[in-house]
Structure 1
Amino acid sequence: MDFNFKEEQLQLADALKRWIARDYGFEARRAIIRSGSGSSDAAWRQLAELGLTALPLPEAQGGFDGGAVDLYLVMQEVGRGLVVEPYLATVLGTECLKRGGGHAGLLEQVAAGDLKLACALGERGARHDLHDIATCAVPAGGGWRLDGEKKVALHAAQAGVIVVPARTGGGRRDLDGITVFALPADAPGLQITGYRTLDGLRAADLRLDGVQLDAGAVVGTVGAGWTILEAVADYGAGLLCAEAVGAMDALFSATLDYLKTRQQFGVPIGKFQALQHRMADMYIHLEQARSLALLAAVRLDGNDAAERRRAVSAAKYRVGQAARFVGQGAVQLHGGMGVTDELPAAHYFKRLSTIELSLGDSDHHLARFIAQPGFDGKEAA
């Protein structure tokens, strides 16, 4: 297997890196976080001009047919730059629409940078079980009527269209009977309550009270939405792993620079052997996480669902462990400064902590990995 990146992939990542360094520095990011919307229209236009909104889309919709490995490099730079724009939320919404088929008009708008998407996947009490859905959809007037609530939908208040799974049959935790809908953010009966999250991004709670949708709002097949949801959740988890690797890389470098400049007893504290051992351990965690995150991206581009599940859960577990170790180590090595808002280290640590809890935490993915056929040496019946 060739793990060398193509020249055009590296060029795109480098272009994003240079834009972040020039226009999206730490202070600019803090100003965006404090703004009313929590995101920047100017920054979004720049991302679109770089081709990032079109990257994961088919050529037929104005895209570049980019795969998960292409996005792996992009998300690494997003992590390094602590970008708070709704890029990942839009990519996940795009993946939902692509897997469902149709909705070409929406995808064309996304490619052009004219439309942001979001996915409202979680519900109260469901934790990481995305099939635990109480929101219901019933036939009404040739279309559908949706009622229910969704919790912590990333960037839903900034989106023009929100992907919403609802139950059209079966029991609350059944895999069958789930249908995915593309819901306009201005639909009557939809209430969106936005707020800022721990890591500076934006999320929202949704309340659906008799929301009317036409039949064309269905994404994929009625009652068969779980296949889409599971694949999209794996896709998102894999991209979060890539973002975490980028954030850990930047945090490790910042900590190393700090150890070289902070003086104690007349010498840089990086001279102390105990701190050198800590940095070596952090580096090992980072490199192991990088390897598994890249493997997950490769499996996401394949067609084997079983391999995808194993690779994504293995990566999410290992990256989550590394994020905790590297984040905590960096904060400790920075001392009291490590938890202040003025220092990037605290912001990296917050983002890494949130990534670990998103789309399944380490415990969830460890249990999922163990449950996969063949883990105990026995093939599935």
Structure 2
Amino acid sequence: MDFNLTDDQRMLAETLGRYLAQRYPIERRHAAAASALGYDPDVWQGLVELGAVAALLPEAVGGLGGGGFDIMTVFEQAGRALVQEPLLGALLVGQALARADESERWRGHWQRLHEGAVVALAHAEPDAHHARWSVATVAQHNPAGWVLDGHKAVVPFGAQAQGWLVSARVGGGVHERDGIALFWVPRSAPGAQLRDYRRIDGGRAAELELRTVQLDAHALVVGPTRGADVLDGVLDAGLLALSAEALGAMEVAFEHTRQHLQTRQQFGRPIGSFQALQHRMVDLWMGLEQTRSAVINAAAAWDGDDPMQRAWACAAAKASVGRHGTHLAEEAIQLHGGMGMTWELPLAHYAKRLVMVDHELGDEDHHLQRCIELMRQRAAASA
């Protein structure tokens, strides 16, 4: 198996890296985070024009790839620059629409994604505790179409989105895998209420209340017979993306810390010459390289033909990010001393983002348990 990037992927990584280095300094990111949108529209449009969104989508929907290493390439560069623009929503919704029932019907949505439309997946719920199939939102069929009732929590850029891809239960119990469908809910839908707020690591999120939201029959994107399978693939794509983003942030945080240890003087020599600090840096480097291997493995599994291997590899990458990313964030702060906590130092924002990535789409403990369950399923199937 070839783990190397293609020429196109390397070119995309270099192009995105140069663009973000020139156009997205940390001060511009802070200004965007403090704005009502929570992102910079000009930077977002620039990323779209450079092909960042197209690279996340399969060719069947007009994209440029949508493979595991395409996702890794885009999000690793995003993590290196602490990009908070709505790339994750474009990935999740785009991947879902590519798997939609009667997918040609959603061609207009594909086009809007390529033009930079802000969209969001509304799946998580307040009492779900990261459980993938915990969906209490209900969709009832009537002669006019569908009626949705429920509450979706922490929807990234939910208040800024032009519409939401909402998971809702058509049948089965609240925690059952079967009976989940996906619906497209436009921003203008009566009964959809939002509470917008800033996230502590930048960007914005929203609580989405669906109170007797009437949708027409064409709002159904994926029916209940395929809903869980589609969500599996979409959420695994999200795990790969977040893991790659964390890898990029870890690379920068590690390099900033290494440079600090080489330049900070104490007792007449750089503090990086002290053996105890060298040992700590070696531990961080080992964690960084283990995370890199886990993310590459997840990207390769994403392009494979084994859904269970894909699920295990993506969960393992996310668990690795949770452990090593959080550890690197904490150690980098300590090795910088008191200045590591200051707003003015970019490192503090990288550390904050690494800690928060651990909690998106399931934390380390959740995905370690998921890895165990998937291995048990594999063993039972082969017995």
TM norm. shorter chain > 0.5: yes
In structure 1, the partner of 2:146 is 144
Instruction: Output the TM-score relative to the length of structure 2.
Output: 0.96
SS at match of 1:100: coil
Query: C-alpha separation between the residues in 2 aligned to 1:8 and 1:373?
Result: 35
Deviation for aligned residue 1:284: 0.3
Name the CA shift for 1:316/1:267 in 2 (closer, same or farther; >3 Å). Answer: same
Deviation for aligned residue 1:206: 0.3
1:289 aligns with 2:291: yes
SS at match of 1:171: coil
1:16 aligns with 2:19: no
Query: C-alpha separation between the residues in 1 aligned to 2:375 and 2:68?
Result: 24
Deviation for aligned residue 1:223: 4.8
In structure 1, the partner of 2:77 is 77
Instruction: Please say if residues 79 and 245 of structure 1, whose CA atoms lie closer than 8 Å, have aligned partners that are also in contact.
Output: yes
Name the aligned partner's letter for residue 10 of structure 2: L
Deviation for aligned residue 1:168: 0.9
SS at match of 2:197: strand
In the comparison of the two structures, how many residue pairs are matched?
A: 380
Instruction: Please say if residues 168 and 223 of structure 1, whose CA atoms lie closer than 8 Å, have aligned partners that are also in contact.
Output: no
Pairwise mapping of residues 292-311 of structure 1 onto structure 2 (< 5 A)? 292-311=294-313
SS at match of 2:56: coil
1:104 aligns with 2:107: yes
Name the aligned partner's letter for residue 77 of structure 2: E
1:226 aligns with 2:207: no
Instruction: Please say if residues 58 and 67 of structure 2, whose CA atoms lie closer than 8 Å, have aligned partners that are also in contact.
Output: no
Aligned-residue sequence identity (percent) comes to 45
| Superimposed CA distance per residue, residues 321-362 of structure 1 (whole angstroms, 9 cap, x where no aligned partner) | 110111111011011111111111111111111111111111
In structure 2, the partner of 1:253 is 255
In structure 2, the partner of 1:26 is 26
Query: C-alpha separation between the residues in 2 aligned to 1:94 and 1:259?
Result: 43
In structure 1, the partner of 2:282 is 280
1:95 aligns with 2:95: yes
Query: C-alpha separation between the residues in 2 aligned to 1:332 and 1:139?
Result: 56
Query: C-alpha separation between the residues in 1 aligned to 2:232 and 2:63?
Result: 24
Pairwise mapping of residues 354-369 of structure 1 onto structure 2 (< 5 A)? 354-369=356-371
Worse-superposed segment, 64-73 or 51-60? 51-60
Instruction: Output the TM-score relative to the length of structure 1.
Output: 0.96
| Superimposed CA distance per residue, residues 217-245 of structure 1 (whole angstroms, 9 cap, x where no aligned partner) | 11122353111112211110011111110
Instruction: Please say if residues 121 and 155 of structure 2, whose CA atoms lie closer than 8 Å, have aligned partners that are also in contact.
Output: yes
Name the aligned partner's letter for residue 202 of structure 1: R
Deviation for aligned residue 1:266: 1.9
Pairwise mapping of residues 27-46 of structure 1 onto structure 2 (< 5 A)? 27-46=27-46
Query: C-alpha separation between the residues in 1 aligned to 2:169 and 2:379?
Result: 36
Deviation for aligned residue 1:98: 1.1
Pairwise mapping of residues 320-339 of structure 1 onto structure 2 (< 5 A)? 320-339=322-341
Instruction: Please say if residues 119 and 153 of structure 1, whose CA atoms lie closer than 8 Å, have aligned partners that are also in contact.
Output: yes
Name the CA shift for 1:60/1:295 in 2 (closer, same or farther; >3 Å). Answer: closer
Deviation for aligned residue 1:186: 2.0
Query: C-alpha separation between the residues in 2 aligned to 1:74 and 1:269?
Result: 35
Query: C-alpha separation between the residues in 2 aligned to 1:168 and 1:314?
Result: 31
In structure 2, the partner of 1:166 is 168
Runs of 4+ in 1 over 6 A off after TM superposition: none
Query: C-alpha separation between the residues in 1 aligned to 2:22 and 2:64?
Result: 25
Deviation for aligned residue 1:151: 0.5
Name the aligned partner's letter for residue 73 of structure 2: L
Pairwise mapping of residues 169-184 of structure 1 onto structure 2 (< 5 A)? 169-184=171-186
Pairwise mapping of residues 183-222 of structure 1 onto structure 2 (< 5 A)? 183-222=185-224
In structure 2, the partner of 1:262 is 264
Deviation for aligned residue 1:145: 0.6
Report the aligned-residue RMSD: 1.5
Instruction: Please say if residues 155 and 204 of structure 1, whose CA atoms lie closer than 8 Å, have aligned partners that are also in contact.
Output: yes
Instruction: Please say if residues 20 and 81 of structure 2, whose CA atoms lie closer than 8 Å, have aligned partners that are also in contact.
Output: yes
Deviation for aligned residue 1:376: 8.8
Deviation for aligned residue 1:142: 3.0
Deviation for aligned residue 1:205: 0.3
Deviation for aligned residue 1:378: 5.3
SS at match of 1:30: helix
Query: C-alpha separation between the residues in 1 aligned to 2:192 and 2:152?
Result: 11
SS at match of 1:357: coil
Query: C-alpha separation between the residues in 1 aligned to 2:250 and 2:149?
Result: 40
Query: C-alpha separation between the residues in 1 aligned to 2:297 and 2:35?
Result: 37
SS at match of 2:55: coil
Query: C-alpha separation between the residues in 1 aligned to 2:61 and 2:379?
Result: 44
Query: C-alpha separation between the residues in 1 aligned to 2:308 and 2:379?
Result: 15
Query: C-alpha separation between the residues in 2 aligned to 1:369 and 1:48?
Result: 34
